[in-house]
């Protein structure tokens, strides 16, 4: 049976390759520190499941210390990225590029159905596994195709990965670390504190106020926690069910659907939802870490206002 560990191991090998490429490059100014950073990351992905919580915590502090002392600055990998080749024929580039999403979606649909030796091929416990296994398979297939069609040197995948990772720098780790912070927040009772604030913000419990507090509270809670799924149960139990449904006989299906989507408006503007907002900024090498959030903020604000209006007009029974 395949678990997420197999996909993590693949990423671990990639980070180990990047660490080696940096460490073996004599012209790299802070090669040892840089290799140490990606080496620790490789250990986390290859062995994190066996390490134990405290050791993983120490590993996090090591990564943060290396990044904060500038181990990743002044890297030269990105400078060497330019090649003077004339571009390959379009189809040899687009076929592998399109293979990534197409194979990913096909694999994410097919793999969970496959049963092998009396059990499922993919472990059913990890919800993100089909998508992640799909991504890994799509990448492997695309890489195989690209290398076969383009006939590039065998070291090029790792060397070009190293260039891109060095261009991104410590920002590559920020999303995962922020996601971890969300879990620490949840454990420390930040969610409960925010729901107290939301309840205290309710001026008078008329229809408009409860809809406003519920929708804006969903968005604000999501901004803090980075996840609408964490906000929904708390806000719905605290404000939605007792007031919108209980007192004013609102339709629970309308409330739930539009309430959750109000939370998604918050997801669009928070760095805590790092995989949606900070990962692409790093992936696209934007100079402004919050560039994607800035691009999304007007849509999020207008949509939240529209959503609140939709809830107000749709949720209550017609007189």
Partner 1 sequence: MHGHPLDLLPLVGVAVLVAGFVVRLNPLAVVAAAAFASGLAASLSPLQVLAVLGKAFNDNRYVSLVWLVVPVVGVLERAGLRDRAREAVARFRGPGGAPLSAGRLLLAYFVLRQITSALGLTALGGQAQMVRPLIAPMAEAAAETSAGQALDPARRDLVRAHAAATDNVAVFFGEDIFLAFGSVLLIRGVLAGGGHEVSPLAISVWAIPTAGLALVIHGARLLGLDRRFRRAGA
Among 138, 213, 216, 217, binds partner 1 (CB under 8 A): 138
Least separation in angstroms between residue 26's CB and partner 1 is: 22
**Considering only CA atoms, which of 278, 288, 308, 275 is closest in space to residue 131?**
275
State which of positions 219-248 bind partner 1 (CB under 8 A).
224, 228-229, 232-233, 236-237, 241, 245
Among 23, 112, 120, 280, binds partner 1 (CB under 8 A): 280
Q: How buried is residue 2: exposed, middle or buried, by Cβ count under 10 Å (0-12/13-18/19+)?
A: middle
Among 35, 43, 122, 132, binds partner 1 (CB under 8 A): 132
Among 3, 176, 209, 212, binds partner 1 (CB under 8 A): 176
Beta bridge partners of 115: 120
State which of positions 67-96 bind partner 1 (CB under 8 A).
67-68, 81, 83, 85-88, 90, 92-94, 96
Q: Number of residues in contact with partner 1, rule: CB under 8 A?
A: 148
Provide the terminal-to-terminal Cα distance of the chain, rounded to the nearest Å: 57
DSSP symbols for 144-169: HHHHHHH---TTHHHHHHHHHHHHHG
Q: Which stretch binds partner 1 (CB under 8 A): 22-30, 49-57, 112-120, 213-221?
A: 49-57
Least separation in angstroms between residue 59's CB and partner 1 is: 7
120 φ, ψ (degrees, to nearest 5): -70, 150
Cα-based distances in Å from 255 to 84, 92, 233, 296: 58, 49, 12, 24
If binding is defined by CB under 8 A, does position 284 make contact with partner 1? yes
């Amino acid at each position: 049976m395949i678990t997420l560990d197999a996909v993590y191991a693949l990423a671990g090998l990639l980070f180990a390759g990047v660490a080696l490429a940096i460490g073996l490059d004599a012209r790299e100014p802070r090669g040892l520190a840089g290799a140490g950073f990606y080496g620790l990351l490789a250990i986390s992905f290859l062995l994190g499941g066996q390490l134990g919580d405290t050791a993983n915590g120490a590993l996090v502090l090591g990564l943060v210390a290396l990044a904060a002392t500038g181990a990743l600055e002044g890297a030269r990998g990105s400078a060497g990225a330019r090649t003077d080749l004339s571009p390959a024929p379009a189809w040899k580039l687009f076929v592998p590029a399109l293979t990534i999403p197409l194979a990913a979606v096909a694999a994410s649909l097919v793999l969970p159905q496959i049963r092998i030796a009396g059990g499922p091929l993919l472990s059913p416990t990890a919800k993100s596994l089909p998508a992640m296994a799909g991504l890994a398979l799509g990448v492997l297939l695309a890489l195989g195709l690209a290398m076969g069609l383009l006939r590039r040197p065998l070291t090029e995948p790792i060397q070009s990965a190293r260039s891109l990772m060095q261009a991104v720098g410590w920002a590559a780790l920020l999303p995962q670390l922020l996601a971890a912070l969300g879990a620490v927040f949840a454990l420390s009772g930040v969610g409960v504190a925010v729901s107290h604030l939301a309840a205290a913000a309710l001026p008078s419990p008329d229809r408009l106020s409860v809809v406003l507090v519920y929708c804006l509270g969903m968005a604000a809670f999501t901004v803090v926690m980075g996840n609408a799924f964490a906000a929904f149960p708390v806000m719905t139990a605290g404000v939605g069910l007792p007031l919108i449904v209980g007192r004013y006989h609102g339709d629970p299906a309308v409330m739930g659907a539009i309430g959750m989507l109000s939370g998604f408006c918050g997801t669009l503007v928070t760095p805590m939802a790092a995989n949606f907002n900070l990962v692409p900024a790093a992936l696209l090498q934007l100079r402004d870490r919050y560039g994607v959030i800035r691009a999304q903020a007007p849509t999020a604000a207008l949509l939240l206002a529209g959503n609140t209006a939709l809830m107000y007009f749709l949720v209550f029974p017609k007189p």
